[in-house]
Amino acid sequence: MPQLNPSPWFNIMIFSWLVFLIILLPKILAHNTPYEPSPETAEAPKAQPWIWPWH
């Protein structure tokens, strides 16, 4: 059963992780979002009671 031979698959896995860590990860971390979230207000929202027609 050749799929149990770890030699080629281990090399593919190591190469894939190296590509991810060296090339893709810095590009992902350098990405800036266009809109920074604004801080929330200190006021709690006022709850409105639900009016259910029970009849």
Instruction: Answer yes or no: is 1 within a domain.
Output: yes
Task: Report if residue 9 sits inside a domain.
Answer: yes
Domain total of the chain:
1
What is the value of pTM for the model shown? 0.46
Question: Between these two residues, 13 and 5, which has the higher pLDDT value?
Answer: 13
How close are the terminal C-alpha atoms of the chain, in Å? 71
Q: Is residue 40 part of a domain?
A: no
pLDDT for res 3: 66
User: Which structural domain, as residue segments, surrounds residue 6?
Assistant: 1-29
In a domain, 19, yes or no: yes
SS3 per residue for 1-53: CHHHCHHHHHHHHHHHHHHHHHHHHHHHHCCCCCCCCCCCCCCCCCCCCCCCC
Q: Does 15 map to a domain?
A: yes
pLDDT in tens, 8-35: 888 899 999 999 899 988 888 888 878 8
- How many residues appear in the chain? 55
Does 1 have pLDDT greater than 60? no
